[in-house]
Amino acid sequence: MDKNATYNSIRDSLVSPRGFPAAVLMHLEAPLPTPASASDDRHFMQATSGHIRYLSMNDLHRDARDAWLERTFTAFEHHTFVDLETRFLSIAEQDYETLIIGGNDPVRAARFLRINRAILARKVKIALMHGSLAGKRAKALNAGFDDVFDSARMSPEEAQARSAVILGRYQAAAHQARVEEELSSSLERIAHLQLLGKRERQLLTLLANRLGEPVSHYKLRTELSHGNDELSYNYLKVLASNLRSKLKPPYVLIPGGQGSYKITSL
């Protein structure tokens, strides 16, 4: 199987269980360019994997894991893993997107993640083992790692692709969070959001997206139904009446003519 097929297969298998479809990873959809050399290929995948910080436990398989990681990624920050040390997680000098913890002790790694959960909430977290058993890999995943790599079994190409896909998933989630924050900020100028029910907020969003323009009752009822039984006209009137009382001056919700509503400013 060529690298493009491998990459696409891994990408599809790693769609976020939190509900982000492959479509949100559009920036990863294009086939990978055919590399001119192995070095070019590694540089490309490094770029899609982001900045990497690596903490390595000083155990039996350290040398094997470290050598494998050097073959897999062109550059990464390398530090010795220390259980209660947090300075290696600092972004004061250099930010990073991916944290790899090398070691065959999932209990130590899990404790480290638990202690630093807040710091690592938006970081890709990968456990790197060597000759691991299924039970240890499961413990790492249950502890909060996004994936587990095994330097004795996994090819560098697969690790590169999996890293890129997981990072893409985090970036998509971060983008969605920014969009929702910007939307909330915009809606907050129009209405008292803390007073709105779910359907009232949805109605506000639909009308605010076309501020000052009429939106037909039919469109509003269809959008608010979300594919379920169609929202009745009487229920729409109730929602509109409730929303009207929760708008901030100078905004008002008024009939838009020909069976429609609109929000406008006086």
Please give the chain's pLDDT, 266 residues, in tens: 555 555 555 555 554 444 434 333 333 344 444 444 555 555 444 445 679 999 999 999 999 999 999 999 988 999 999 988 888 887 766 789 999 999 999 999 999 999 999 999 999 999 999 999 999 999 999 999 999 999 999 999 999 999 999 999 999 999 998 988 888 889 999 999 999 999 999 999 999 999 999 999 999 999 999 777 789 999 999 999 999 999 999 999 999 999 999 999 98
How far does Cα 136 stand from its chain's mean position? 26
Q: What is the pLDDT of residue 89?
A: 86
Q: How far apart are CA 257 and CA 261, in angstroms?
A: 7
Work out the angle between the directed axes of helices 156-188 and 198-208 (0-180°, nearest 10). 90
Q: What is the pLDDT of residue 34?
A: 46
Phi and psi at residue 14, to the nearest 5° = -110, 20
First to last CA, the chain: 64
Q: How far apart are CA 192 and CA 180, in angstroms?
A: 16
Superfamily of domain 3-180: Response regulator (3.40.50.2300)
Any idea which residue has 């999996």 for tokens? 162
Predicted model pTM: 0.64
Continuous H helices in the chain: 3-13, 38-49, 62-72, 106-115, 134-143, 156-188, 198-208, 217-225, 233-244
Q: Where are the domains of the chain?
A: 3-180, 189-265
Measured in residues, the chain has a length of: 266
Q: What is the pLDDT of residue 230?
A: 81
Nearest C-alpha neighbor of 33 from the set 48, 15, 18:
48
Enclosing H/E stretch for 255: strand 251-255
Q: What is the pLDDT of residue 26?
A: 36
CB 143 within 8 Å of CB 136: no
CATH of domain 189-265: 1.10.10.10
Q: How far apart are CA 24 and CA 29, in angstroms?
A: 10
Q: What is the pLDDT of residue 15?
A: 45
